[in-house]
């Protein structure tokens, strides 16, 4: 099928609604937001069709994390020829207004039609053998999904009780990177640690914690040690820490990034 034909089918199949990332309510996407998301999805799809890979990582800017020195807030796996479509994003999302999460399969238009800060996007291709193992694992979901429903926005890396969207991506990757495949969240994170993964440190001042209204039910500080809470320096799995790890370990094969709609000659800060 030609790119334009199947992409049109993708657009027609996509519901014209998005989950508002900040307001936690479902509302129809505005025509402009839907148009912007469609343009971004078309850019991403065109790039994905250029390289024969069964799965890639795709990052988006759902929350403004610039004060923490971060660009991308969310990342998922775009799987080729999924039962839901030619390119389908598999990722973990917090159920708005709750401390629960679920795994979702979305087309690229919907992935970028959420209430995003902007339409910046980044694609990461993995080494072929690793990408194939990851794709095989993802096609079997929910079997061995390594998913913990209890959600914490600032989940402690390696936490047994909580998980966030970036931790799920890292743990899923770490489960398939070694042979044989791992089937336990803690074992997967421990393997990533031994392999060189290091989380980012996000500073949240104590005053911000106690002012109220800044954090919701999906932010559990007690997941971290008393020492961490006193210092305000929280280790968190971020998009940047995942990409840094992939680069340092040479798992990353190729990257492509768009900022303000423009393809970057070289991917920058994540």
Residues 37-66 pLDDT 10s:
999 999 999 999 999 999 999 999 999 999
The yes-or-no verdict on residue 84 having pLDDT over 90 is no
Number of helices (H), then strands (E), in the chain: 9, 11
DSSP label at 257? Answer: E
Distances in Å between the alpha carbon of 258 and those of 77, 189, 268?
18, 30, 10
The yes-or-no verdict on residue 85 having pLDDT over 70 is yes
* Mean pLDDT for the stretch of residues 159-177: 98
| Rounded-to-integer distance, Cα 107 and Cα 8, Å | 12
Pairing relation of β-strands 74-82 and 17-19?
unpaired
pLDDT cut 90: percent of the chain above it: 79
For residue 151 the two structure tokens come to: 């959600």
The yes-or-no verdict on residue 13 having pLDDT over 50 is no
Q: Please give the pLDDT value at position 6.
A: 35
Q: Assign 205 a pLDDT band (cuts: 50, 70, 90).
A: confident
**Do residues 247 and 215 make contact, with C-beta atoms less than 8 angstroms apart?**
no
What are the domain boundaries of the chain? 3-261
Q: What is the mean pLDDT of the chain?
A: 89
């Amino acid at each position: 099928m030609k790119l334009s034909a199947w992409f049109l089918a993708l657009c027609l199949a996509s519901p014209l609604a998005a989950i508002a990332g900040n307001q936690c309510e479902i509302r129809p996407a505005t025509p402009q937001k839907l148009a912007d998301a469609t343009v971004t999805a078309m850019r991403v799809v065109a790039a994905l069709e250029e390289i024969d890979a069964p799965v890639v990582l795709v990052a988006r800017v759902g929350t403004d994390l610039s004060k923490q020195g971060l660009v991308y807030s969310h990342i998922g796996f775009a799987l080729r020829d999924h039962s839901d479509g030619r390119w389908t994003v598999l990722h973990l999302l917090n159920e708005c207004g709750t401390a629960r999460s679920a795994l979702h399969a979305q087309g690229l238009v919907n992935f970028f039609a959420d209430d995003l800060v902007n339409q910046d996007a980044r694609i990461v291709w993995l080494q072929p053998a690793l990408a194939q193992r990851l794709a095989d694992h993802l096609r079997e979901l929910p079997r061995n999904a390594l998913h913990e429903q209890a959600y914490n926005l600032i989940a402690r890396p390696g936490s047994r009780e909580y998980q966030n969207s970036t931790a799920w991506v890292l743990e899923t990757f770490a489960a398939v990177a070694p042979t044989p495949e791992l089937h336990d969240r803690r074992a997967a994170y421990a393997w990533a640690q031994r392999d060189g993964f290091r989380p980012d440190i996000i500073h949240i001042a104590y005053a911000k914690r106690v002012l109220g209204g800044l954090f919701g039910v999906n932010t559990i500080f007690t997941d971290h040690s008393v020492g961490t809470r006193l210092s305000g320096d929280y280790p968190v799995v971020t998009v940047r820490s995942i990409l840094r790890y992939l680069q340092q370990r040479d798992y990353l094969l190729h990257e492509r990034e768009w900022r303000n709609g423009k393809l970057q000659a070289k991917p920058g800060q994540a």
